[in-house]
Amino acid sequence: MNSIVVNLMQVRERIELAALAAKREPEEIELLAVSKTFPASAVEEAMHAGQSAFGENYVQEAVEKIQKLAKLRPWLVWHFIGPLQSNKTREVAEHFDWVHSVDRLKIAERLSAQRGEFPDLAPLQVCAQINVSEEDSKSGVSLAEVEALCNAITSLPNLVLRGLMAIPAPSPNIEQQRQAFGAVRECFLQIQAAHDGELGYQFFDTLSMGMSDDLEAAILEGSTMVRVGTAIFGKRDKINK
């Protein structure tokens, strides 16, 4: 298996090529390295190759890693991207910089209130998660409900609404992948246009979509942040995927 450093170079090259194909600037697309299930040493290895943004799914595992690497902040920026239960919001509010998986008002309210207990921390940067494939098993609000959730987030004092996140159902077919990502982009642009210049929407600039197997399709459809795990760190153990 390739080293993390080589994998990172290859992923960055994929991003550049996809940007080129989409007639976009590669700098418009941020790479989030998804380090879930991998140890702090893997994060450090990626960091030495210039990577600074890391994504985690499991609160307990993430907090241990974040604490272990505390000295490397603020260079390291931590994004929570997994399903979030309300009894875990406090730890997320205390330890993360971003949350991509806000899928209901209750979670947003708890994150804001709990972030407020740490006045030294910047507001939490959040995305509303859309369930674009409308799968029962996936978290996220429907396309129809996401604008209301976004509006509610903008009224919370310790959150900054940054954009939308989506995990479409996996498909081997690039046209199908593009269709799902395109629906998210349409929704993103519509909300952006409807609230242009409005307070709370000044930083609504992030479209978090695309993973190891579909980042090209996501970039073609306007993704500004791809979340890549396997292609950087290798395959995850099945027991804890």
Ligand X SMILES: *Cc1c(COP(=O)(O)O)cnc(C)c1O
Triad 61, 62, 64: Cα angle to 5°: 70
Q: Contact with ligand X (CB under 6 A): which of 16, 116, 230, 234?
A: 230
For residue 127, what are its two tokens? Answer: 């995305």
Which SS3 state, helix, strand or coil, does residue 184 take?
A: helix
Q: Contact with ligand X (CB under 6 A): which of 11, 22, 34, 111?
A: 34
Identify which of 140, 10, 23 has the alpha carbon closest to the alpha carbon of residue 82.
Answer: 140
Nearest CB to ligand X, comparing residues 19 and 127? 127
Given the rule CB under 6 A, which of 44-52, 88-96, 217-225, 228-236 is the region that contacts ligand X?
A: 228-236
Q: Is 220 in the site for ligand X (CB under 6 A)?
A: no
Nearest CB to ligand X, comparing residues 30 and 154? 30
Q: Contact with ligand X (CB under 6 A): which of 63, 124, 218, 228?
A: 228
- CA distance linking residue 106 with residue 104, whole number of Å: 6
Given the rule CB under 6 A, which of 4-12, 58-66, 195-203, 226-234 is the region that contacts ligand X?
A: 226-234
In single-letter form, the type of residue at position 85 comes to Q
Q: Contact with ligand X (CB under 6 A): which of 167, 187, 191, 220?
A: 167
Which SS3 state, helix, strand or coil, does residue 237 take?
A: coil
Identify which of 187, 151, 182, 149 has the alpha carbon closest to the alpha carbon of residue 168.
Answer: 182
CA atoms within 13 A on the CB side of 118: 17
* Min separation Cβ 128 and ligand X, Å: 14
Binding mask 97-136 for ligand X (x = CB under 6 A): ----------------------------------------
* Min separation Cβ 213 and ligand X, Å: 6
Q: Contact with ligand X (CB under 6 A): which of 81, 107, 124, 219?
A: 81
Tokens 């992948």 locate to 177
In single-letter form, the type of residue at position 61 comes to E
Query: Alpha carbon of 201 to those of 160, 194, 196: distances in Å?
Result: 8, 10, 7
Chain positions contacting ligand X, by CB under 6 A: 34, 36, 57, 81-82, 167, 211-213, 227-231
